[in-house]
Amino acid sequence: MEPLAKPQAKPIAILQFSPTVEPGYFAEYLDAHGHRHTVLRIDQGEAVPAASTAFAGIGLLGGPMSANDALPWVAPVLDLIRDALSHEVPVIGHCLGGQLMAKALGAAVTRNPVREIGWGALRAEDSPAARSWLGDISEVRAYQWHNETFALPQGAQRVLTGDYCTNQAFVLGPHLGMQCHVEITPAMIDAWSADWFADVARLGPLPPSVQTPDAMRAELASSLAEMRQVSDRLYATWCLGLRH
């Protein structure tokens, strides 16, 4: 059973950094459970909020750029994350968003040993923190598209891990940073797959951590349904910390 969260008066701010990396299922979940949210199109020049306290929570999406890139919005986003943590406004990060969270907390963002694209197996850690966030979920197929990864920030606990990327999700109090894309939708997979050939052109023989678009679609129905259980559990637990 999912934890129950109270409705909040303030909206959740969702920061979007790339046109094709949309809020996806994250927004669908928030809508279905009565949590107001507003999408800030950082990719279209909208300003990063200077303070977190106007929001019930901060959601960070993914993107093809690196948290280490010298983009004009990176430093303000890092400042916003640190402000949110200081005011106990919960932050949730998806892929790049999780990397930005780790970087804001002083942890390194570096190249992952291998490229990860497509569906892959993840395991929950055997810890009180993992059980608090994931319940009795122990294994899941989750969607990936990344070539960098984050180290664990000081005080954070890893709750999900995988064979090709050790740090798949960490928690720190009410905050959740993820490397995987639990927010993915079929439409987003189709949009991203248009860039697949360009993305893997320099890899040579495909490593086992990279699926073709056909392989992704072949297991879409089964793996997406499995991952939705994790999405719902993680989002429900995160929503418990929203600032009302």
* Dihedral angle over CA of 232, 235, 239, 241, nearest 10: 130
Whether residue 6 is predicted with pLDDT greater than 60 in this model: the reply is no
DSSP, collapsed to helix, strand or coil, labels residue 208 as: coil
* Dihedral angle over CA of 48, 65, 233, 33, nearest 10: 40
pLDDT in tens, 81-95: 999 999 999 999 999
Owner of token pair 């949210």: 37
pLDDT in tens, 51-104: 999 999 999 999 999 999 999 999 999 999 999 999 999 999 999 999 999 999
**Residue 175: its H or E element:** strand 175-178
Return the minimum-mean-pLDDT range out of 139-143, 198-202, 226-230: 198-202
Read off the pLDDT of each residue in 219-228 and give the average, rounded to a whole number: 96
**Residue 107: its H or E element:** none
Domains, the chain, with CATH or none: 12-239 (3.40.50.880)
pLDDT in tens, 104-115: 999 999 999 999
pLDDT in tens, 138-195: 999 999 999 999 999 999 999 999 999 999 999 999 999 999 999 999 999 999 998 8
Q: Which two tokens stand for residue 14?
A: 């969702």
